[in-house]
Chains A and B, each alone.
Chain A
């Protein structure tokens, strides 16, 4: 027999599939693509929209610019418009597309003109294409228009052809990922005809335009470009299709391009070229940046960031490796990644040194690249960069102070040597100075070391080499030695400082790894949102010098600010809404980003495995460098992971609590209803009897006693239930106060005076018993329940003893009786809820001992039940307590 396999119900499976599909449903993007303005893109788009409308599609205009062209304006008629949103910017009213209204309206197709448009400052996104992406994400189809010159990878070529620099550009990715591209084409003659007829611009502007931009040559070039792009796209689609149906593996040619970039402006051209190249080859492409010991200047860092950003915009994956040997790093990477083509820029020679070095670079690259093709691109940029062009190896970044202190060191040491030169001889002095320069190289930058080398050489020559006090050198050996001295000093200095920089880089990496390790360690030892927030804030402050605000979702998926005492950074309502947007879209926003860049905070989503956990807002003065960003991302993912675990744990705990309280509820109904009814029945019966007839005094008294007993029992049950529910809901927190255990014993024995009457009760407290810090009320209940338990399980006349003592940090309380004790097999269950011993007298609820356990646990203590040697039960409570020093208190009284 095989167990029946649990097969899913086909209907529910189908339903879940449809559901999945619904979720992943993204709108389709159709681009009407043209070579330049005036070819009729908007017109064609509107015509297409009319055709769709006839098919019954719900079409709405989000933003269409008619440019006062009559045919176009006519076509706009008959469509629903979403009102443009107007906002004030520097006292000018600007109208922009109303993104939120569009999403709220949720039409079938929305028409949005001019995809490459740049939004007015203060809008949510910088660029309109970002708006469009958000619309698509909401499952709305978009029709839009685009000119070839707006494509990021073409903008430069267009600038070269037409001399017009295009500012409004669009990442190629958007174009490539469009679901449909329709080319709107016109022959140059027709376009010029339309222009001169004034169909595009007014007559005057037309003339101007024809003279500047719309020259026939320009138009032809742009047209060719547009046609080629669309042709390439069709080609690629065909290839993709074929490949999809035949071969696994993403690239038809199996070609992998690698473009090596650096911190030069030149790299951007390299990237665009490489992108076009990969596009026409249909090859996979990656970019690589090699981090060397070279210390980037601020300008270089900005350019590097720009290059990396451009690569990302072009859809090129950027990898970063650290290695001082650029060639080796490129080749290693290329071999590991099965690269087929390496693209590098042609080195620019600006001085002898770099000529040697860079020439070497190309030679070595060619030598080691083996079967990998290498493309070397010429540089045609006559950039200002070249003027600056100092490719000195280690840069001079040292402060003025460093030069002064180096100067002082060398001078003072020389004076020292001068005093003893007669004993050691001038040649030894050179070793001493050389030694000094090497030592200084460990602490100072290249500039100061060059100074030290030069200075010590001059000093040695002038003051030490005979003839003294001249720069003249008598013996050729000395001249040789001086030269060697100088070269060794400089080499030494440069090598050491290079090592030092490498070491600093390694140290930064190590520090980061260490920080992550520490973070992980600290996070693993804590629990609770508050603690996680505290750790996160501390670490972010320590390693990023940033103040942050963390917002975490609650059970209702709403963001809540997590803050602990000490953080007083607050968010405005506006900032909260940005946070909400980031949470919803999982994209960073705010300052230094493309979305909602006005404001002081940058918001990062905390993306966990099962969706977003929340948002972190930081006041970031500048953009992260690439290394920092990687570090930051890892940091955030650690923190998010912890929050997520906490969230899941909370959810699990809540579920557990609910199921526990349901269990309690059920048991209440089954067991407690019985316990409630008995005393109520007694009271009702007895009072009925009393009311019905006049009984004799002694009978009345008996009935009164029964009523009394029943009500006491009822009261006890209520107390127990209340305590139990306090324990169940976790609302028991002890408030320890100084307590004299005599008081504790007294109070309990007094309240149980009636029950204890038939027993021999004794309380044992040592004479030197100190005061202890406990919650009097809770411990009173504990002792009350234990003693009551003892009375219920022993014979009248037997002894009950309560013993208190303090031992090594613990308060011990023992309650002993001579009753029946426990059945050994049931010992582990004694403290369970609703457990009742077999011989228990009627009237108990089985809650008393579980309350004892709960309250003792709330004191971080333990309670143990066992059988006594000569019969009876023994409960031992151990609670960690503070004790008073009685002598010090007595001293306060003179």
Chain B
């Protein structure tokens, strides 16, 4: 793994920091820790972490504010790890610029997977002309999608939706974001469009549409492509 810097953990709970440190170090990551938002923001500026794991319930500044402040200059992934589990909080965090979220209590396996995806995405910002996910190949240059080397017939909306999701592989995209990008500002509340088109796409792309592998639902929040 080619890592340029450490992972910064901003969390006021000592036990969580300790658990994360043990788990992440054991998996080969370098770790920096901060227990308050101010400390975390300062540290982030000085060490330029490869990823930040952020708790929303910090004692000094609200987590949503912290994301905003960090995003003023920090480009790399921010992963939210919080006990706040309401959909509203999560959507707000994502809208403010967080890349992903996990609620406490969490599975360390899941956390490691998310970190891997986030870091990889962070490093692969450059546009690739062709994306491959198992038996699915998406040719972004020629707008052609192949499954098992056979061309899948997609309508233009279906294609736009698939392209948007696949380009953000592993990242949660909120309903509003997807609707805005694919349909436009005026459709921001038309979640039924999204549901219908996702169902159609699943039928065309997934091996078993009832157990989707690529087009995953994040309950009440949005969709995540792959992983």
Cβ of A568 under 8 Å from chain B: no
B147 to chain A, nearest CB (A): 20
Some 18 contacts from A to B, beta carbons below 8 A apart, are A737-B175, A737-B220, A739-B195, A740-B195, A740-B199, A743-B217, A743-B219, A745-B210, A746-B212, A763-B210, A771-B195, A771-B196, A889-B193, A890-B196, A892-B157, A893-B155, A893-B156, A893-B158
B92 to chain A, nearest CB (A): 14
Contacts of A738 in B (CB 8 A): 191-192, 194-195
| Contact present for B219 and A776 (CB under 8 Å) | yes
Q: Which of A715, A739, A892 is the one whose CB lies under 8 Å from B105? A: A715
Cβ of B87 under 8 Å from chain A: yes
Contacts of A892 in B (CB 8 A): 157, 193
Cβ of A886 under 8 Å from chain B: yes
Contacts of B196 in A (CB 8 A): 771, 884, 886, 889-890
- Name the CB-closest residue of B to A890: B196
- Name the CB-closest residue of A to B193: A889
Cβ of B198 under 8 Å from chain A: yes
A886 to B197, CA, bound (A): 10
Contacts of A890 in B (CB 8 A): 196
| Interface residues, chain B, with chain A CB atoms under 8 Å away | 87, 105, 155-158, 175, 191-199, 209-212, 217, 219-220
A511 to B52, CA, bound (A): 72
| Contact present for B155 and A894 (CB under 8 Å) | yes
Contacts of B210 in A (CB 8 A): 742, 745-746, 763
Cβ of A747 under 8 Å from chain B: yes
User: Which of A860-894 touch B at CB < 8 Å?
Assistant: 884, 886, 889-890, 892-894
Cβ of A780 under 8 Å from chain B: yes
A746 to B217, CA, bound (A): 9
Number of A interface residues, CB 8 Å? 23
A746 to B202, CA, bound (A): 13
| Contact present for B87 and A746 (CB under 8 Å) | no
A894 to B155, CA, bound (A): 7
B interface, by DSSP: helix, strand, loop or mixed? Answer: helix
Which interface residue of A740, A777, A894 has the most chain B CB atoms within 10 A? A740
B35 to chain A, nearest CB (A): 24
| Contact present for B217 and A893 (CB under 8 Å) | no
- Name the CB-closest residue of B to A889: B196
A362 to chain B, nearest CB (A): 81
Do A737 and B191 form a contact, CB below 8 Å, given A746-B211, A889-B196, A893-B157?
yes
A740 to B194, CA, bound (A): 10
Contacts of A747 in B (CB 8 A): 217, 219
Contacts of B158 in A (CB 8 A): 893
Do A894 and B156 form a contact, CB below 8 Å, given A742-B199, A771-B196?
yes
| Contact present for B219 and A780 (CB under 8 Å) | yes
| Contact present for A884 and B192 (CB under 8 Å) | yes
Contacts of A777 in B (CB 8 A): 87, 219-220
A894 to B211, CA, bound (A): 28
- Name the CB-closest residue of B to A775: B220
A740 to B158, CA, bound (A): 17
Cβ of A711 under 8 Å from chain B: yes
B166 to chain A, nearest CB (A): 19
B169 to chain A, nearest CB (A): 19
Contacts of B197 in A (CB 8 A): 893
Contacts of A776 in B (CB 8 A): 219-220
A747 to B219, CA, bound (A): 7
Contacts of A743 in B (CB 8 A): 195, 217, 219
Closest 9 interchain pairs by CB? A738-B192, A743-B217, A893-B157, A738-B191, A884-B192, A740-B195, A776-B220, A777-B220, A889-B196
A605 to B75, CA, bound (A): 63
User: Which of A740-760 touch B at CB < 8 Å?
Assistant: 740, 742-743, 745-747
Contacts of B212 in A (CB 8 A): 746
Q: Supply 10 further A-B pairs (C-beta < 8 A) apart from A742-B210, A746-B212, A884-B196.
A: A715-B105, A740-B198, A742-B199, A771-B195, A777-B220, A889-B196, A890-B196, A893-B155, A893-B158, A894-B155
User: Which of A80-110 touch B at CB < 8 Å?
Assistant: none
